[in-house]
Amino acid sequence: MNHSEERALAWRDELRKSMKAKERTDIPRVHMPELNAEYRSHSRLEEVNLGLTAEMAMLEAKRCLDCANPTCMQGCPVGIDIPRFVKNIERGEFLEAAKALKETSALPAVCGRVCPQEKQCEGQCVHLKMKKEAVAVGHLERFAADYERESGNISVPVTAEANNIKIAAVGSGPAGLAFAGDMAKLGYEVVVFEALHEIGGVLKYGIPEFRLPNDIVDVEIQNLQSMGVHFVTNCVVGKTISIQDLEDDGFKGIFVASGAGLPRFMNIKGENLVGVMSSNEYLTRVNLMDAASEDSDTPVFKGKKVAIIGGGNTAMDSVRTARRLGAERAMIVYRRSEEEMPARLEEVKHAKEEGIDFMTLHNPIEYLGNDQGRVTHMLLQVMELGEPDASGRRSPVEIPGKTELIEVDEVVVSVGVSPNPLIPQSVEGLEVTKWGTVVVNNDTMQSAVPIIFAGGDIVRGGATVILAMGDGRKAAKSMDEWIKSN
């Protein structure tokens, strides 16, 4: 059933009429319960957001007007039937709500935690037009997914009869997982190849436990496994096996979602000093390798004065991790002002509550070290805002001669990533941009090599979990059509 058919169901109609719109919009938006800021800034593994109670969720769900033309859905990159799951929460059918989510999203418990909702579903909510706060769609999504998981009644989405056609996903991050879920539903035999020893890509190596616990990612992966998706870890497509090997092995379509592999550096003096590293390295050590635990063999620096360069979600994850590993001073150094920061609002808010220093309108120009080559200081250029640049944001301009020297013992560079070059290097005929991203047809996600589709950061260069998932869904739909028309 599509959205309007669902909306026309008797229970929905009844529920809509049970309360006046004015009464619904008058309910204040729910506040997500969270751990005390001082406590959590020393607790590495506990999740900050505690989740809504059933009462809170049902009340929040009442705020949704169940619009005939739900603009929130247009804001969702994977096209979740948002009113349907929200209204199921309102009537107390939490498992039905979870089911509705899983029809379109392979990872609802993940999206409910890490999506930038304020720029997507909630950013399009009709409440905003009435100068009210948006319905907390993200919190409700998380509630439904968590309720289902904790209930032990995890539903496995219905899959079509097996068609015995083998298809592959390269990379087990959000794009690969979303693709795998949709293809499994369509009856394909799906194999996901992962280069690392763990499944989940950036959800495991990048996003910290306090924001997205690994256990939650694992449950979503198990859900895919119970739908018949196979996972192969420790296998680098392009190195261990080639695309040609996959074709020879009978794979009829290959979705490349190998992510944004290479961390960018700024190429400034002292950047290779000991103690200066990429956010990928820092977060991988702490998240994937669990380096901060006593029993882990992987080491990690636990700096006391730590600077994170950048203003995105990865920078926020890094700085909050540094704080949790014992940094007395943990700083965000960002060249624009707070308004231009690309990080989610919630991450910035949480970081501030946890005592993070925000040094906006500052840009590092050099790192200095001691005789052992360890970083001891950073030299910052003070900036001001100029005219808007190509991104539409006001560009940072140096204030001549104005610099600051600040003591640091660890620097984490989080200024973006470049696409992983392994696949582009190893496949002949693949069209690649000068930035190294794979060129695809935007409607179909198909590349210049017909059997290869691609999505996520390998195409976008560096985006969000949900946009990657949207690509995965789009690629699944069009690969299915392409295979069937062949």
Partner 1 sequence: MNKIVSKEYFSANVIKFEVEAPLIAKARKAGHFVMVKVGVKGERIPLTIADADLQKGTITLVVQKMGVSSSKLCALEAGDYITDMVGPLGKATHIENFGTVVCACGGVGTAPMLPIVAALKKAGNRVITVIAARNKDLIILEEQMRLHSDEVIVMTDDGSYGTKGLVTNGVESVINREKVDLCVTIGPAIMMKFVSLLTKKYEVPTLASLNTIMVDGTGMCGACRVSVGGKTKFVCVDGPEFDAHLVDFDEMLMRLGGYRDIEREEMANFSNH
Residue of 376, 442, 417, 41 lying closest to 265 (CA atoms): 417
Q: Give the number of C-alpha atoms closer than 13 A to the C-alpha of residue 154, restricted to the C-beta side.
A: 18
Distance CA 280, CA 269 (A): 20
Stretch that binds partner 1, among 50-58, 131-139, 174-182, 238-246 (CB under 8 A): 238-246
Shortest Å distance, C-beta 294 to partner 1: 6
* Residue that has been written with the tokens 């190596």 in this structure: 205
* Interface pattern 177-196 for partner 1 (x via CB under 8 A): ------------------xx
Three-state SS letters, 193-207: ECCCCCCCCHHHHCC
Element (H, E) at 399: strand 394-407
How many H helices and E strands in the chain? 21, 15
* Interface pattern 419-458 for partner 1 (x via CB under 8 A): -xxx------------------------------------
Shortest Å distance, C-beta 169 to partner 1: 17
* Interface pattern 96-125 for partner 1 (x via CB under 8 A): ------------------------------
> Judged by CB, which is closer to partner 1: 46, or 281?
281
- Sheet with 276-278, edge to edge strand ranges: 276-278, 410-413, 305-309, 329-334, 357-360
Distance CA 433, CA 447 (A): 12
Residue from 5, 161, 294, 443 in contact with partner 1 (CB under 8 A): 294
Distance CA 108, CA 87 (A): 16
Here the tokens at position 307 are: 């600077």
Here the tokens at position 131 are: 């100068």
Q: Does 164 bind partner 1 (CB under 8 A)?
A: no
- 36-60 in b/e form (b: 16+ CB < 10 A) is eeeebbeebeebbbebbeeebbbbb
Residue from 41, 49, 124, 280 in contact with partner 1 (CB under 8 A): 280
Residue of 150, 159, 139 lying closest to 57 (CA atoms): 139
Are 44 and 207 spatial neighbours (Cβ–Cβ below 8 Å)?
no
Residue from 101, 277, 408, 411 in contact with partner 1 (CB under 8 A): 277
Shortest Å distance, C-beta 261 to partner 1: 5
Stretch that binds partner 1, among 115-123, 286-294, 438-446, 469-477 (CB under 8 A): 286-294
How many residues belong to the site for partner 1 (CB under 8 A)?
A: 44
DSSP code at position 134: P
> Judged by CB, which is closer to partner 1: 57, or 454?
454
> Judged by CB, which is closer to partner 1: 184, or 195?
195
> Judged by CB, which is closer to partner 1: 93, or 218?
218
Q: Give the number of C-alpha atoms closer than 13 A to the C-alpha of residue 55, restricted to the C-beta side.
A: 1
282 backbone dihedrals φ, ψ, rounded to 5°: -60, -50
> Judged by CB, which is closer to partner 1: 143, or 193?
193
Here the tokens at position 301 are: 């620096």
Distance CA 301, CA 318 (A): 13
> Judged by CB, which is closer to partner 1: 241, or 365?
241
Residue from 5, 55, 161, 295 in contact with partner 1 (CB under 8 A): 295
Q: Does 235 bind partner 1 (CB under 8 A)?
A: yes
> Judged by CB, which is closer to partner 1: 183, or 237?
237
Q: Does 290 bind partner 1 (CB under 8 A)?
A: yes
Other Cβ atoms within 10 Å of 62 Cβ, number: 19
Shortest Å distance, C-beta 330 to partner 1: 20
Dihedral of CA atoms 393, 394, 399, 403 in degrees, nearest 10, equals -30
Q: Does 373 bind partner 1 (CB under 8 A)?
A: yes
Three-state secondary-structure class, residue 236: coil
Residue from 85, 147, 205, 231 in contact with partner 1 (CB under 8 A): 205
> Judged by CB, which is closer to partner 1: 123, or 213?
213
Stretch that binds partner 1, among 13-21, 60-68, 366-374, 385-393 (CB under 8 A): 366-374
Binding site for partner 1 (CB under 8 A): 195-197, 205, 233-236, 239-242, 261-263, 265, 267, 271-275, 277-278, 280-281, 284-285, 289-290, 293-299, 301, 372-374, 420-422
